[in-house]
Amino acid sequence: MPADDTRLFILSPGPHLSADESVEKIMWRVTMALLPALGWGIWSFGAAALRVTAACVVSCVAVEAVVQKLLRKGVTVSDGSAVVTGLLLAFNLPSGVPLWMTAVGSVVAIAIAKQTFGGLGYNIFNPALIGRAFLMASYPVQMTTWRPYGAWDNVTGATPLGIIKEKLALPLPSYMDMFLGRIGGCIGETSTLLLLLGAAFLLVAGDITWHTPISFFGALALMSWLSGRDPLFAILAGGAVLGACFMATDMVTAPISGKGRLIFGAGCGLITGAIRVWGGYPEGVCYAILLMNAFTPIIDRYTQPRRFGSRSKGQPRICAD
Amino acid sequence: MVISLRAKTFRGGVHPPPCKEMTKGLPIRRAALPPVVRIPLVQNAGDPPRFIVKKGHYVRTGEKIAEASGPVSVPLHASISGTISRIENVPVPYGGVGLAAEIEGDGKDERAWGSEGSTDPHALSREEILARIRDAGIVGLGGAEFPTHLKLSPPPEKKLECVIINGAECEPFLTADHRLMLERPGDVIAGARLIMRAAAAPCAFIGIENNKRDAYEAVRKLSAGMSDITAILLKVKYPQGAEKQLIRATVKREVPSGGLPADVGVVVQNVGTAVAVWEACGAGKPLYERVVTVSGQSVREPANWLVRMGTPFTDIIRQSGGLTPDAAVLIMGGPMMGVAQWTTDVPVVKGTCGIIALPECAPAEVKPRACLHCGLCLRVCPMGLSPAFIRQAAEKGRWNLAGQYGVNDCMECGACAYVCTTSKNQIQLYKRAKLELKKRSGHAS
């Protein structure tokens, strides 16, 4: 070791300390937060749900790796973002879809919606939702063939929102059934309880803020109430909780400030409500979020935080209290 | 608990590990008289002074070696007695090299000050105090090095309503101000009183972060009977000691964008500066030594030293047990806003509040990648800016856009880079953006 006075040190700009955080940690926390709901999906819909989820995750990671290789960019699948996209894509699919369809969805999600725009951080639209929207448009039958809760075999059932939209002569599930997830639906959207648990974890960890879910739920409830529907039912049924807590809170595609996120969430809630009431589909969360994704840059532009020193009102009196 | 609820603060900010345990309990010790000092000419913000000594001159401790030159300038003083051995460019801790006078000490430490008859400093007039502050070469000792006498005499239309003495010391590791307040609370208060007189301000607050309760108690006890000097407890948060944030926390006023504390009737002085003002007015002592915290995981025996200006870092580090083999980063100041050094062969200057040696520099290793838009930087920015957008604009070289996002309001505290998961070079980008904007405005006018 050279003496202190002849040693050379690293010249680097400040700050010379860094918070112990990384993209990887964020993504793995989101993955963890999704696991309880995934467990419930498998419990409800059987091994098919697990197969679909595994296929989505594997194909998303594979597509990301292949595309990055082809583009001669560094392969960054270890950052976990493709895993999250795979999970979220699977969460938005019925458990009975054929596995090749998950591969198609993954290619659209990762290759088109994410890597075409430049990869993580540059994508405008939520990749998983683009994947789902593509599949919904291309294979509407498979995408709306639901299994009822607890049916591990190929029985078809209906979702609560489907019962309303199609005016089916079926009994609506109770609030408690919907809260716990004893209903039909996509793999990851049924259990409000477990989704909220995961969201609470992310909230405490600071990876999401309260603004988006709260304004999403508020606007959706308001919209439902105005159109004469049950607001609580609107939140518990379908993908509202999954969308509000995990998709509309996607940091890359949503506004950056709290104020912006309030507007974003409210827009998502209103559009979801509008699609459900007047649209052709029973569910509208996916399209609502994608539409609002397009507004993110302009929302950001008009919701800058208040700058220090821009206060217009007078300065307070100095007093020693 | 009740008291910590009362602690005041500002919006935003971060909580880096304080790392003050190593030195907060260690009394300030006088460092050994250095055999050789190198005193850089530029040690104040503004105009550089002018050397009035030549090679071969004999100088005594506290003797003036450079004369103020220009409107924003203060004189420099010898910090040991001895002979001027050379005046040359040497490495300086601000980065690069700068002109400095080297004094080869005679080991006698003969003083050139303290002979004038003692006057009661509290009987001095406003002008006399300002003149003594100027003649003693006092600048902001928190690190900014702005001439103190100028800060205390704003244009006449701006009346100062209060003085805030900055004892926040929010940078990790540093404990120099903490020890000063704990060991010499009387001098801090006496300095505050002189600063009040010089600024013609009727009251003063001494803001101290909640992790220095012993110093707060010491100052509070001594100021208990005074109606015009109040100790204020501040929340522990970085950058609590930044001027505008300290003012916001203490008197709830917001310095306007692009403005100065005087615009809201406030002047802020560091506790070290307050003590220097007291010594200059009370004893006629020029500013030629200061308290420096030497700390960091790579320093064997961290300590708080009273150091002569111009002492090479090498000397101080040796007296602190030397560095461990893993030392990789050497910083003057705190680890958040301090300046990285490439060598220990730089002298202590008036703005050196700390010398920190750290084992690795994780931030330097981070390769920037695309912003995730997570919004953490917006939440921690104490200036209410959108660091993410400033960064993105600057990365594309869109300097005007960076300007619209308020880059000139940025004080480079580094809170955004501290929390960011995708980049650590924000401060470089902001500095560059400010420079480019300045160039442009220069062309336009």
Per-residue pLDDT reduced to its tens digit, A206-244: 999 999 999 999 999 999 999 999 999 999 998 999 999
* B226 touches A: beta carbon within 8 Å: no
DSSP state of B290: E
Q: Which residues of A touch B343 (CB under 8 A)?
A: 5, 7-9
A16: left (phi over 0), alpha (psi -120 to 50) or beta: alpha
Q: What is A23-298's CATH topology?
A: Ammonium transporter fold (1.10.3430)
β-bridge mates for residue B209, sequence order: B234
Could you say which of B244, B267, B283 is where a domain stops?
B283
β-bridge mates for residue B358, sequence order: B329
Q: pLDDT 10s digit of each residue in chain B, 445 long?
A: 333 446 888 999 999 999 999 999 999 999 999 999 999 999 999 999 999 999 999 999 999 999 999 889 999 999 999 999 999 999 999 988 999 999 999 999 999 988 665 678 888 899 999 999 999 999 999 888 999 999 999 998 999 999 999 999 999 999 999 999 999 999 999 999 999 999 999 999 999 999 999 999 999 999 998 999 999 999 999 999 999 999 999 999 999 998 999 999 999 999 999 999 999 998 899 999 999 999 999 999 999 999 999 999 999 999 999 999 999 999 999 999 999 999 999 999 999 999 999 997 666 667 888 999 999 999 999 999 999 999 999 999 999 999 999 999 999 999 999 999 999 889 999 999 999 999 988 765 4
Q: What is the pTM of this model?
A: 0.92
Q: Which residue of B has its CA nearest to A6?
A: B343
Cβ contact A192:A236 at 8 Å: yes
Q: Is B421 in Cβ contact with A21 (below 8 Å)?
A: yes
Residues sharing a CB contact under 8 Å with residue A171, sequence separation 6 or more, in sequence order: none
Where do the structural domains in chain A lie, given as residue ranges?
23-298
Nearest beta carbon to residue A305 from set B331, B370, B386: B386
Would residue B108 count as lying in a domain?
Answer: no
Q: Which of A221, A137, A132, A239 is CA-nearest to residue A185? A: A239
What's the pLDDT tens digit per position in A78-119? 999 999 999 999 999 999 999 999 999 999 999 999 999 999
Q: Is B14 in Cβ contact with A251 (below 8 Å)?
A: no
Tell me the C-alpha distance between A269 and B198, whole Å.
Answer: 60
Tell me the C-alpha distance between A257 and B378, whole Å.
Answer: 7
Nearest beta carbon to residue B161 from set A11, A119, A318: A318
Q: Is B172 in Cβ contact with A4 (below 8 Å)?
A: no
Task: Return residues 101-120 of A near B (CB < 8 Å).
Answer: 118-120
Q: Which residues of B touch A9 (CB under 8 A)?
A: 327-330, 340-343
Q: Is B358 in Cβ contact with A16 (below 8 Å)?
A: yes
Q: Which residue of A has its CA nearest to B364?
A: A12
Tell me the C-alpha distance between A22 and A106, whole Å.
Answer: 25
What's the pLDDT tens digit per position in A233-273? 999 998 999 999 999 999 999 999 999 999 999 999 999 99
* pLDDT score at B1: 30
* A14 touches B: beta carbon within 8 Å: yes
Cis, bond preceding B35 (omega within 30 deg of 0): no
C-alpha distance from B65 to closest chain A C-alpha (Å): 27
Q: Which helix (H) or strand (E) holds B58?
A: strand B58-59
Mutate to test the interface with B, among A17, A259, A262 (most CBs of B within 10 A): A17
Would residue B65 count as lying in a domain?
Answer: no
- Same domain, yes or no, for B132 and B247? yes
Q: Which residues of B touch A318 (CB under 8 A)?
A: 161-162, 203, 251, 253, 265
C-alpha distance from B179 to closest chain A C-alpha (Å): 23
Q: What is the ipTM of this complex?
A: 0.90
Q: Where is average pLDDT lowest: A105-109, A157-161, A306-310, B50-54?
A: A157-161
Could you say which of B283, B303, B323 is where a domain stops?
B283
C-alpha distance from B418 to closest chain A C-alpha (Å): 5
- Alpha carbon distance, N-terminus to C-terminus of chain B: 55
Assign residue B255 the CATH number of its domain: 3.40.50.11540
Q: Which residue of A has its CA nearest to B231?
A: A320
Report whether pLDDT(A315) > 90.
Answer: no
Per the structure block, which two tokens stand in for B17? 């590990």
Would residue B307 count as lying in a domain?
Answer: no
* pLDDT score at B277: 96
C-alpha distance from A140 to closest chain B C-alpha (Å): 33
- Same domain, yes or no, for B144 and B278? yes
Cβ contact B299:B319 at 8 Å: no
Q: Which residues of B touch A206 (CB under 8 A)?
A: 376
Nearest beta carbon to residue A9 from set B256, B328, B383: B328
Nearest beta carbon to residue B373 from set A9, A252, A311: A252
Tell me the C-alpha distance between B180 and B125, whole Å.
Answer: 26
Q: Which residue of B has its CA nearest to A118?
A: B370
Tell me the C-alpha distance between B341 and B355, whole Å.
Answer: 10
Task: Give me the total of CB pairs closer than 8 Å, taking one residue from chain A and one from chain B.
Answer: 193
Q: Which of B11, B426, B341 is CA-nearest to residue A15? A: B426
Q: Is B244 in Cβ contact with A309 (below 8 Å)?
A: yes
Distances (CA, A) of B274 to A105, A209, B23, B184, B349: 67, 43, 22, 11, 17
* B389 touches A: beta carbon within 8 Å: yes
Would residue B39 count as lying in a domain?
Answer: no
Structural domain harbouring B270? 2-25+117-283
- Edge to edge, the sheet with strand B203-209 lists B229-234, B203-209, B162-167, B266-270
Report whether pLDDT(A154) > 80.
Answer: no
- Same domain, yes or no, for B275 and B391? no
Residues sharing a CB contact under 8 Å with residue B356, sequence separation 6 or more, in sequence order: A16, B173, B293, B294, B295, B296, B299, B330, B331, B333, B334, B335, B338
Q: Is B16 in Cβ contact with A310 (below 8 Å)?
A: no
Task: Return residues 280-309 of A near B (CB < 8 Å).
Answer: 300, 304-309
Would residue B272 count as lying in a domain?
Answer: yes
Per the structure block, which two tokens stand in for A46? 């059987």
- Same domain, yes or no, for B274 and B382? no
Q: Is B317 in Cβ contact with A4 (below 8 Å)?
A: yes
Q: Where is average pLDDT lowest: A4-18, A24-38, A73-87?
A: A4-18
Q: How many domains does chain B have?
A: 2
Would residue B149 count as lying in a domain?
Answer: yes
